[in-house]
Homo-oligomer: A and B are copies of this chain.
C-alpha cells in the first residue's frame, strides 16, 4: 500500500473528528469499506465495525455521528478521487471529442485492482458507490444536508464534465442532465450486469458500458 502525494481533501463538515488524523480513524474508513461491501449498508453497524477493528462502538461515534454520515464521507472521498483523475486526464488538454470521451471513460469504467493511492481500496469503494450511494441522498434530510455541502464534490464533478460538453457544443441544452444521467446510469448498469442482467446488454470483454455511454454522449451533442 504505497501512498503517493495526492491530496484527497474532505470538507470538515463531513466528520466529527478527522479520520485521517489517527490510525484508528484510517482503520474506521478502510475497514468500513470492506464491511459495507460484505454486508451491505443495511447490514452494516458500528458495533460490527468495532468488533472487526478491535475497537469500540463508542470510539467510532467520535469520528462519525452516524453510519449515514460515514456513507456521505465515503461518497465525497470517492468523488474527490474521481475529480483528481479527471483533472489529470484533462487539464491543459484542448477541447476535443477525445477529451470528453476520456472523461466519460473515467465516469463509467470499472476500477481495476491496485490503483490504491492511500488507505482506501478504490475498487471496493467503487463497488459501494455503485450499490449504496443513491441511499445517501434518497433521504428525508437531503435538502438540509445539501445546504451543508454534503453533495458538493459530486455536483462539482458533474459541473466539470458538463463544461466539457459545452466546450464542444455551446448550444447543447441539457449538459447537466446528460452527465448526471451518464454517471447514475453507469452505476446502474454495473449493478444490473451483476444482478439483473436482462436490463443490460453487457457481454464479457466487450466493455459495453463504457462504449454505450461514450456513444450516447457523442450522438446527443453532435
A85 within 8 A of B: no
A140 adjacent to B184 (CB under 8 Å): no
Interface size on A, residues (CB 8 A): 49
15 additional A-B residue pairs with CB within 8 Å, beyond A42-B139, A178-B212, A178-B216: A134-B134, A142-B196, A143-B195, A158-B199, A173-B201, A174-B212, A174-B215, A175-B201, A176-B198, A176-B200, A177-B200, A180-B185, A181-B185, A184-B184, A184-B188
B138 adjacent to A174 (CB under 8 Å): no
A88 within 8 A of B: no
B201 adjacent to A177 (CB under 8 Å): yes
A196 adjacent to B139 (CB under 8 Å): no
In A157-214, which residues have CB < 8 Å from any B CB?
158-159, 173-178, 180-181, 184-185, 188-189, 191-192, 195-196, 198-202, 208-209, 212
- Closest approach, in angstroms, between the C-beta of A172 and any C-beta of chain B? 9
Residues of B within 8 A of A143 (CB): 195
Per-residue 0/1 for A115-154: is the Cβ within 8 Å of any B Cβ (1 yes, 0 no)? 0000000000000000110110111101100100001001
A43 adjacent to B140 (CB under 8 Å): yes
Instruction: Report the separation of the CA atoms of residues A177 and B180 in the bound assembly, to the nearest whole angstrom.
Output: 16
Kindly identify which residue among B174, B191, B209 contacts A177, using a CB–CB cutoff of 8 Å. Answer: B209
**What's the number of copies of this chain in the assembled complex?**
2
Q: Is the interface of A mostly helix, strand, loop or mixed?
A: helix
- Closest approach, in angstroms, between the C-beta of A147 and any C-beta of chain B? 11
25 A-B pairs whose Cβ atoms sit less than 8 Å apart in the complex: A39-B140, A42-B140, A134-B138, A135-B138, A137-B196, A138-B191, A154-B199, A158-B198, A173-B208, A174-B201, A174-B212, A176-B201, A177-B199, A177-B200, A177-B208, A177-B212, A178-B212, A180-B188, A180-B189, A180-B200, A181-B188, A216-B216, A216-B220, A219-B222, A220-B220
Kindly identify which residue among B146, B151, B198 contacts A155, using a CB–CB cutoff of 8 Å. Answer: B198
Residues of B within 8 A of A173 (CB): 201, 208, 212
